[in-house]
């Protein structure tokens, strides 16, 4: 025969027991919520939204970097777009750093960053040296002299920092400076103080660098259609260079842009005149609208340019 134990609670005791159970459940839930691993909220990208800029490297001037990244000092170069990194040694340079990959393995990684082909195209990088992370820009073309043996790199390549200059001209290079801004998370800040003509040149230079994200930072609330057009420009245009920009007569918003271009898959250089519209956004500065962008992709509306040397190697050499 089974033994049964029967508890008889008075109403007041029963209420106290129920309150204690509820409190225990609440306390258990609080402890669980604090102990369980948290998951980041899902990221949302609405049409026209802008991804916040990320600071990756310190925005130091060349005079400051020259004292940190001295000759014969080793450093690690990290590509902002791919995250790939390789080691280098600074060998020279007066207005910027002339560097060489340390080993054949480092050279192979650098070439992979440029999709297996050496290129003069500037890329945003972070230079890690002396415990510091410095915002910088590199090109990907071996040139000049090189002294490190066995690294499979014939010559050196250049790394620029804020205010660095080109050795040949003694002037700053806009493409390099733009990539330094990108590495430092200062792109929007730098263009906010520019005149509309300068913003247009930054936009065109970003297309030439095959950097759609930087080009879009010069635009006012780009729609998905405009974003697709800019990406199409990057994939369809091999080289592009501004010859001059002038405001349209009687207008404070419209500008005529005179360009030299080479379409991908073509050898002949062409000349174009395109009308773009700008909007003054106050503290955010001048921004491009999407008007006129389709003209960049129209290969029929062009004028062939013969016997010119618009895109000389001097345009790239640092």
Q: Given this model, what pLDDT does residue 167 score?
A: 82
Give start and end residues of each alpha helix (H) in 83-223: 104-113, 174-184, 187-191, 196-208, 212-216
Q: Which two tokens stand for residue 93?
A: 């340079």
State the Cα–Cα distance between residues 68 and 112, nearest whole angstrom.
28
Q: Answer whether 0.95 is exceeded by the pTM.
A: no
Pick 193 or 12 by higher pLDDT.
193
Q: What is the pLDDT of residues 77-105, one digit of tens each?
A: 999 999 999 999 999 999 999 999 999 99
| H or E segment and range at residue 294 | helix 294-297
- Residue 90 bridge partners (DSSP): 99
Pick 288 or 27 by higher pLDDT.
288
Q: What is the pLDDT of residues 253-309, one digit of tens each?
A: 999 999 999 999 998 899 999 999 999 999 999 999 999 999 999 988 777 665 555
Tokens 């604090």 belong to residue = 34
Q: Given this model, what pLDDT does residue 26 score?
A: 55
What is the pLDDT confidence band of residue 19, given thresholds at 50, 70 and 90? low
Instruction: Please say if the pLDDT value at position 7 is more than 60.
Output: no
Q: Which of 15-29, 85-99, 228-242, 270-284 has the lowest mean pLDDT?
A: 15-29
Indicate where the chain has its CATH 3.10.450.100 domain(s): 187-315
Pick 198 or 13 by higher pLDDT.
198
CATH superfamily of 187-315: NTF2-like; domain 1 (3.10.450.100)
The yes/no answer on whether domain 62-182 falls in CATH 2.160.20 is no
Q: Which of 227-236, 249-258, 305-314 has the lowest mean pLDDT?
A: 305-314
Q: What is the mean pLDDT of residues 43-60?
A: 69
Instruction: Please say if the pLDDT value at position 34 is more than 90.
Output: no
What is the pLDDT confidence band of residue 36, given thresholds at 50, 70 and 90? very low
Instruction: Please say if the pLDDT value at position 198 is more than 80.
Output: yes
Residues 139, 52, 216, 44, CA torsion sign: positive
Q: Given this model, what pLDDT does residue 3 score?
A: 53
What is the pLDDT confidence band of residue 44, given thresholds at 50, 70 and 90? very low
State the Cα–Cα distance between residues 16 and 229, nearest whole angstrom.
69
What is the pLDDT confidence band of residue 311, given thresholds at 50, 70 and 90? low
- What are the DSSP E strand ranges found in the chain? 74-79, 85-92, 97-101, 119-129, 132-140, 157-160, 237-247, 254-263, 270-280, 286-288, 303-304
Nearest to residue 257, comparing CAs of 277, 279, 280, 237? Answer: 277
Residues 6+ apart with CB under 8 A from 217: 50, 53, 187, 188, 191
State the Cα–Cα distance between residues 222 and 51, nearest whole angstrom.
12
Q: What is the pLDDT of residues 106-153, one digit of tens each?
A: 999 999 999 999 999 999 999 999 999 999 999 999 999 888 999 999
Q: What is the pLDDT of residues 149-187, one digit of tens each?
A: 999 999 999 999 999 999 878 799 999 999 999 999 999
| Torsion on CA atoms 102, 116, 65, 204, rounded to nearest 10 | 170
């Amino acid at each position: 025969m089974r033994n049964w134990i029967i508890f008889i609670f008075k109403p007041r005791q029963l209420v106290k027991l129920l309150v204690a159970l509820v409190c225990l459940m609440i306390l258990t839930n609080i402890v669980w919520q604090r102990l369980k691993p948290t998951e980041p909220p899902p990221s949302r990208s609405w049409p026209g939204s802008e991804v916040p800029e990320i600071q990756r490297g310190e925005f130091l001037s060349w005079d400051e970097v020259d004292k940190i990244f001295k000759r014969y000092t080793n450093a690690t170069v990290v590509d902002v777009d791919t995250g790939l990194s390789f080691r280098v040694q600074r060998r020279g340079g007066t207005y910027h750093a002339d560097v060489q990959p340390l080993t054949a393995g480092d050279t192979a990684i650098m070439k992979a960053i440029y999709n297996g082909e050496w290129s003069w195209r500037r890329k945003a990088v972070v230079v890690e040296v002396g415990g510091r992370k410095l915002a910088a820009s590199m090109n990907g073309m071996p040139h000049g002299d090189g002294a490190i043996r066995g690294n499979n790199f014939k010559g050196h390549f250049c790394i620029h920092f804020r205010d660095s200059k080109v050795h040949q001209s003694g002037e700053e290079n806009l493409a390099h400076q733009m990539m330094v801004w990108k590495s430092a998370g200062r792109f929007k800040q730098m263009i906010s103080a520019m005149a509309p003509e300068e913003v247009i040149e930054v936009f065109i230079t970003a297309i030439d660098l095959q950097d759609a994200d930087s080009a879009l930072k010069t635009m006012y609330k780009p729609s998905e259609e405009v974003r697709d057009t800019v990406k199409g420009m990057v994939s369809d245009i091999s080289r592009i260079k501004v010859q001059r920009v002038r405001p349209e007569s009687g207008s404070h918003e419209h500008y005529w842009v005179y360009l030299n271009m080479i379409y991908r898959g073509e050898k002949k250089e062409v000349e174009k005149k395109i009308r773009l519209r700008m909007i003054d956004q106050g503290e955010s500065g001048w921004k491009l609208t999407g008007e006129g962008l389709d003209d960049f992709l129209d290969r029929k509306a062009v004028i062939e340019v013969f016997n010119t040397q618009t895109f000389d190697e001097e345009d790239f050499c640092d």
